Structures are given as structure tokens and as C-alpha cells.
Structure 1
Amino acid sequence: MKPTAIAETRTMTVIALPLIFAYLADVLMVLTTKMVVGKLGAVEMAAAGISTDLAYQMCIVLMGFFSVVGVLVAGARGANRREDIVPELIRGLVLAGMLGLGVTFIVLNLGTVLRFTGQDAEVIRLSESYYTGFAFAILPIVWFGVLRSFAAAMMKTGFVLAITVAAVALNYVLMQGLVHGSFGLPRLGIAGAALAWAITMWLKALCLGAYIFLLIRRQGLPLGRVAAASPVAYAPLVRLGLPVAGIVAMEIGLFAVTALLSGAMGAGQLAAFQIVMGWISVPFVISLGFSESAMVRVAYFAGASDQPAARQAGHLGMAVGVAVPLLLVLIPVLAPEQLTGVFLDPADPLYGQIAALVATLLLIGAVFQVFDSLQVIASHVLRGLKDAVMPMVIAAIGYWVIGLGGAYVLGFALGWGVAGLWWGLAMGLAFTAALLAWRFELLSRRQFSM
């Protein structure tokens, strides 16, 4: 029976809130890196910022892939197939380990990417010691993503919040200490920030892993047909996960390429991009939390063959997940210089130029955040219906043809600079959001009537 809209909103919020705060904590760790390293100088912040973005965004692609573990687990719960729940988790962890090692190798060679894309020579030099250390944080980041997706599907996200908040506090102490020599720790400069990431991520993943193990035992979930070594057993995960990873990769790639294009315009433009992206990520993860909540609810009702409830969950997720972050994104528009001051020392030679760029980009960011929120939620609720291939095609056109194409034309051909890059992003996100939301409306009717 379909729950009332109020009851469903309450259930989704209960699932989403711990995830939102956990995602916010992740964002805070990225912001902490930029703020702590930024006190060394604008170029140092640009180096740490672009290295973190490129490395962490590859992790986000893998976490997108393994978010389907939550879909498969929620579907098994909805259909009352208890014997399939734990095997889905185990297969996710095994495959995450293999793919995580591949990403680790890529991160260790980020210098090649930075040189090929024409980044500032000093940015490249400073980045090397940072991304070399950050590579050791890749595996725990990816494993934590798998465990978090499982916890969301099981509607047990409170511990995810607790461990993530604790990790933020630990990361700040380690980063402040290892970068600047505070708290009696050795002063390692920019390399210390990467070491802080690695230590924190390993502790975070191990703690959540222990909690999930206890949860499985407490609920008496059977191991079932684990078949972790059988390639055939991985087929549902790979079949659904690959196009989802493709969607995430195209979105992440869009922002990564935009960051590289900003860097090609100069260190000041790159620093401004990093500051604004740091703030924009806050309202975005609120939408992301609601999108994961809506995804597992749609998957649960789809597993139970309850069409009205699945459609309602998708609609509510899109409505709430756009409205709430929109309020937040407007806040710094009223005081852009204060936001710049959080990241940079006002005595920095590039401060005036960067502050002016930040003020412009915040206005544009307020426009495209609406579409960014809608497209991520629409993509997730479609994922709950196990629809990922066509959304990937839509994303490819929206992100790379309209978004990146528009960004290049406006930013370089028409000479609008970094502001033109952001207007291009807004165009691509608007196209993608509209088509994905329309597809959910059509597919959620058609799929259940077949």
C-alpha cells in the first residue's frame, strides 16, 4: 500500500539526513584541505585543490558504480529475498578492491595529466608530493562508499554520520598539524595534507566495516549464494553499475575538464574556481543525500511491484532535493568577499583578482545549482528502476556536447573567460535535468504496466 506523501517524506528524510551530514563531512574534509593549505599561498591551494579534485572525482566515479549495491540490496529486501542481501555486499567489496587499485595507479601518475593540460609549472611541482600521498587513500574511500550504500539500503545510516563526523575532526587535527606543525606534529607542508587524508580514510573505512559486520550478525542475515569467485554472479552488478559509473564519470569529467581549462587561464582563475566549487558542493551534497534516499525507496517499492509508491518516492525526492539546497546556494551571493577570505590570506598578491572572480561565479552558480540538483536526483530515481543506459546517453549529450561545448565557445571563442565556462556548465546541466526528469515520468508509468 502506498504511504501518504507526508509519511514517505518523513521516511526519506530519516534515511537522507545522516547521509547528507556524512556527505557534508566529506565536503568539509575537502574544504579543510583547501583552507589549511591555502594559508601557505594561493598557488599551493591551487595545487592541492586540483590534485584533490582529480583524485577524489575518480573515487566518486567508482562510488557511483557501487551505489547500485544499494539498489540491488533494497530490491532484495522489497522482494523479501534475505539470502541475496549479504552476497551483493561481498561482491561489491571484492570488485571495489580491484578497481580501486587501478585508480591508485592513475593517481600516482597525475603529473602527466597536469603537464599535458598546460597547468602552471609551479602548480605541477607542488602537486607531486601531494597526489603521491593521496593515492594511499583511494582504496578506503572506495570501500567506504560500498559500505555506505549498503547501510542506506538497510535504512541504518546513523552510524555512517557518527563515524564521518569523527573523521572530520581527526582530519582537521592531522592536517593542521602535519601541514603547519601544530599540535606537536612534524611540519610537512602540502605533503602533510595528503598523509592526513590517508590516515583518516583508513580508520573511517575500518570502523564502518566493523559496524556492518555486527549489523549482519545482529539481523541474522544468511550468507546465501555468495559465489564471490564466480564471474557470472557479478553480472547484475556490472550490468547496472557500468552505465551508472558512465553517468557519474561524464559529470565528474565535465567539472574536471572545466577545472583544467580554468587552470589553463592562470593560477588565479583556477583558485577562484576551487573556492566556488568548494561552496557549491555544500548544497549539492544535500541533493545527493536525498537522491540516494529516493533511489533506495524507489528500488524497494519496485521490488515489491508497488507502482504508485515508487512514482511517489521519485517525485518527492526530486521536489525536496531541489528546494532545500536552493536556499543555501543563495547565501554567499550576498557576501562573496567573506567566502574568499575563508580560503585565502587577504595579503596574498592574487587576492583582489580572485575575490572579483568569485563574486561573478557565485551568481552563475546559483543558477546552475537548481539544474545540478534536479539532474542528480532524476538520475538516481531512474537507477532505482534499474534504468541506466539511456540516462548515460542523455548525460553524454548534455554534459559533453552542450555543457563542455558551450563552455569552450563562451569561455575561449567569445572571450568570456572563466565565467563563460560556468555558463556552459549551466546549459548542459539544464538540458540533462529536463530530459532525465521527463524519462522518469514516462518510464515509471510504462515499466509497471508491462
Structure 2
Amino acid sequence: MTQRMTYAGHARALLALGLPLVGGHLAQFAIGLTDSVMLGWYGVEALAAVTLAAGYFFVLFLTGAGFGWAVMPMVAAAVAEGDEVSARRATRMGLWLSLLFAAIAMPLLWWAEPILRSMGQAAEVSADAAHYLRISGWGLFPALLVVVLKSYLAALERTQVVLWITVLAAVINAGANYLLIFGHGGLPALGIRGAALASLVTQAISLLAVWVYVLRALPEQELFRRFWRPDWEMFAQVFRLGVPIGLTSLSEVTLFTASSLMMGWLGTVPLAAHGIALQLSSATFMVHMGLSNAATVRAGNAYGRGDRAHMARGAAVVVAISLALALLASALFLLWPEGLIALFLDPHDPQRAEILAIGVGLLAAAALFQLVDGGQVVALGLLHGVQDTSMPMVIAALSYWAVGLPASYLLGFTFGMGGIGIWLGLVAGLACAAVLLMLRFWRQGLRRVAAAV
């Protein structure tokens, strides 16, 4: 590829790389969505508990995934430079750091109940969430390793296999949920524990699949040879890049977890409606996340080659595509909210009408949410591609916690707007992040790339 590639050429290249990543993220999202849908059929209390548990789990997962996501731009830049050794070294140390993080985080998953209760959650919901986390929490180990290996494959532009492995995992999870939650096939009905066990099995199978693929399809890379041997220089490099990425994700996901906690203060029914609206918004976010990953890989390649013009043109294309998709999602949320929410509910649930009424208002706020959420994650992907992670971390933390969280509380409780106010606060925080991160990339990020020849 050259710096003279047209905008149409950039769009084709971006979509060829990004669409499988989008599909992979949607398939990964389908795992959590399946838990929510089937537990919503099982009971509103179970849905509320898994909403709380999933938010808690992802606080830790996304923080630890920073090391895996750091591997993506590092490998992309190394491949552009023809340095396969550095690509292999970065991936191995990403695996090391992911295992270390999971071991440190496991006690927080095991003893989640008192932590959740200290945050003001109802005793019964906290207990059910803790039962879920004591089982599904062990999936943090394979889940983080999968992030590293998928990032490695994405940086090599082997995105089709990332998609199909994740689709396989989603299918397995759906089948396991069906059997274990409701007790089909002669198995006992385990409810929320069944959903947790299904998720754990799914994560383990995903790791096995991607591990076997790397061994068989890329034997010349010798990725796991002498895996036990430390590489402290590369360990430090991945750590320095991965910690800010993880903390940036932590800032965002804890904003959403805090919103779930605040919705829990309003009651079980508002929390269940919030969980549905959050799942729908997360589905559209996965599309932007896939584009962001593709932007990271392409920006990382341009960074490794020192091709500033190529990067600028490609960045403009990915921002335009993300904005167009956000507008489509907003229209869907505004025009068909009842139909979307109804997918998560038992038609005979006595609380169905109340959840629908609350959820329609939340989706109206989520329509605004779409326009800024895609912008901020795409900007982060571009900045990660040029290995700019520290200042974006600061921008994200300030936007989410100094703007978004106070705005959610003030609008939701001080001004009495309830759940809609909480969601409008989320919009404010994400809008701040989107504007500042975009300015960061266009004013500073491109300067990190040597002038194109």
C-alpha cells in the first residue's frame, strides 16, 4: 500500500480487515447476550443479578485485556518493519502479563458478595451475582489469553479465523446455556449457576481453538517455544504500553458499572431495563470496536513504515464509516424500541409492561449515546496504533469520572430524572472523551509518525 491510496481504496482495505473483527466482536458479545436473554426468560431477578455480575467481571476483564490489546499495535509495527522476532517476543510477554493479572484478580471475583453489598446492592441480588462470579470468574484466565492471541492474529491480518473461532464459541455457549439454565437434556435446571458454567466452558474451548490454530497454521513462528523463559526487556515494554490501555478501559467500564449500581438503587425493575438497554448499546459498540481494532492495525503498520499521509487518509475514512453506522443505530433505537426490548422478556412476565416503559426512555437516551461512543473508541484505536497511550488514559479518566459520573448522579438523583438522567450523564462523559481524543489524534498523534517520503 502506498500513501497515494484513494479514500475508496482505504475504505475497501479497512472493511476487508475490519468486518471479520466486527463479526468477531459481535459473536463475543453474543455470549453475554445469550446469558441475558435466557436469564431474562428464567426470571427478572436472575437478569438483574447477571447484569450486576457481568459489569463487575468486565471491570477486571477489560483492565487485564490491556496487555493483550498492547500486543496488537506492537506486532503490527514489528511486522511492517520486518521484525518477526519482536512480534513473537511481544506476544509471549503479553501472555505472561495476562496470566499474572488473572491470578491477582481472582480473589476479587471469589469474594464479590461483600464488595457488591458494600456498594449498596440488595442482599439477594448480590448473593446471586456472587454465585455466578465464583464459577464464571475462572474464565478470566482463558479469556485474557484469548485476547492476546486474537490480537496477534489480527495484527498479522488473519482476521477470518478470529471471526470463526468466536462464532464457534457463541454457538457452544448458547447450547450450553439452553441445557444448563433450564435443565434440558436430562440435566438439572441450574439457573444463574448454569449460565456461569456455560460461560466458563465456552472460554476454555475458545482458548483451545485459537491455541491449536496458531500451532498448526503458524508453526514457523514457534510462538510457544520456550514459553517459560522470561524476556524482561519486552515484558517491560508490553507492561508500559498495556497498563495505560487497561486503565483507559477500566475508566470506561467502571463508569458503566457505576451506572448499573445507580440503577440498582432505583430498584430491580429499573436495573433489568438498564441491563437490556446496555446490551443493545453494547451490540452497536462492538461494531465500532471492530473498526477501532482495524484502525489500530492499519495505523500500527503506517507507524512502523513512517507513512504519515497514509495514516491521515485512513483515519479520515474510519471516522466517517463509524459515524455513518452510529446514525443508523440511533435511528433503529428511536423507531423500534419496544420490539428490541421485547426480545429479552418473557411475554407472560408480570413486570414486562413496566420494564418496557422504562426501557423505551433509556433507548431514546442511547440514541444520543451512539453518536459519541463510536467516536471515542475509534479515536482510541488510532492513538493506540501510534503507541500513544498515557495521555489518552488521562483524557478518558477525566471524561468518564470527572464529567460522566457526576453528571449521571446529578441528573438521575439530584434533578430527579431517574434512569434517563443516569444515561444522559453517560452521554456527557463519552462526548467529552470523543472530542478530546479526536483532537489528540489529529493534533498530536500524527506528529508521532515521521513525515511521509
Write the distance in 1 (CA, Å) between the matches of 2:400 and 2:320. Answer: 22
Write the distance in 2 (CA, Å) between the matches of 1:34 and 1:249. Answer: 22
Write the distance in 1 (CA, Å) between the matches of 2:217 and 2:439. Answer: 38
Paired residues for 1:430-441 under 5 Å: 430-441=431-442
The aligned residue for residue 189 of structure 1 is 191
Write the distance in 2 (CA, Å) between the matches of 1:59 and 1:294. Answer: 22
Query: TM-score, normalization: structure 2?
Result: 0.95
Amino acid in the other structure paired with 1:256: T
**1:310-352: CA deviation from partner (whole Å, max 9, x where unpaired):** 2222222222123224313421432322223221223323222
The aligned residue for residue 142 of structure 2 is 140
Write the distance in 1 (CA, Å) between the matches of 2:132 and 2:96. Answer: 28
**1:1-39: CA deviation from partner (whole Å, max 9, x where unpaired):** 312222222122111111111110111111110111112
The aligned residue for residue 13 of structure 1 is 15
Contact kept? 1:250, 1:396, Cα under 8 Å = yes
The aligned residue for residue 116 of structure 1 is 118
The aligned residue for residue 31 of structure 1 is 33
**1:222-252: CA deviation from partner (whole Å, max 9, x where unpaired):** 8899894143331211111111111111001
Contact kept? 1:178, 1:189, Cα under 8 Å = yes
Paired residues for 1:6-405 under 5 Å: 6-218=8-220, 228-405=229-406
Q: Following TM superposition, by how much is the alpha carbon of 1:193 offset from its aligned partner in structure 2, in angstroms? A: 0.6
Contact kept? 1:104, 1:139, Cα under 8 Å = no
Contact kept? 1:406, 1:421, Cα under 8 Å = yes
Write the distance in 2 (CA, Å) between the matches of 1:361 and 1:160. Answer: 33
Write the distance in 2 (CA, Å) between the matches of 1:241 and 1:332. Answer: 34
Write the distance in 2 (CA, Å) between the matches of 1:29 and 1:438. Answer: 35
Paired residues, number: 449
Q: Which stretch of the first structure deviates more once superposed, 233-242 or 244-253?
A: 233-242
Q: Which stretch of the first structure deviates more once superposed, 234-243 or 101-110?
A: 101-110
Q: Which stretch of the first structure deviates more once superposed, 141-150 or 49-58?
A: 49-58
Contact kept? 2:68, 2:149, Cα under 8 Å = no
SS at match of 1:314: helix
Which stretches in structure 2 are left out of the alignment for 5+ residues? none
Q: Which stretch of the first structure deviates more once superposed, 128-137 or 378-387?
A: 128-137
**1:352-402: CA deviation from partner (whole Å, max 9, x where unpaired):** 221111000101101011101000010110111111111111111111011
Write the distance in 2 (CA, Å) between the matches of 1:448 and 1:171. Answer: 43
**1:74-113: CA deviation from partner (whole Å, max 9, x where unpaired):** 0101111122111111111111111112222211121122
Amino acid in the other structure paired with 2:144: V
Write the distance in 1 (CA, Å) between the matches of 2:324 and 2:66. Answer: 23
SS at match of 2:158: coil
Amino acid in the other structure paired with 1:363: A
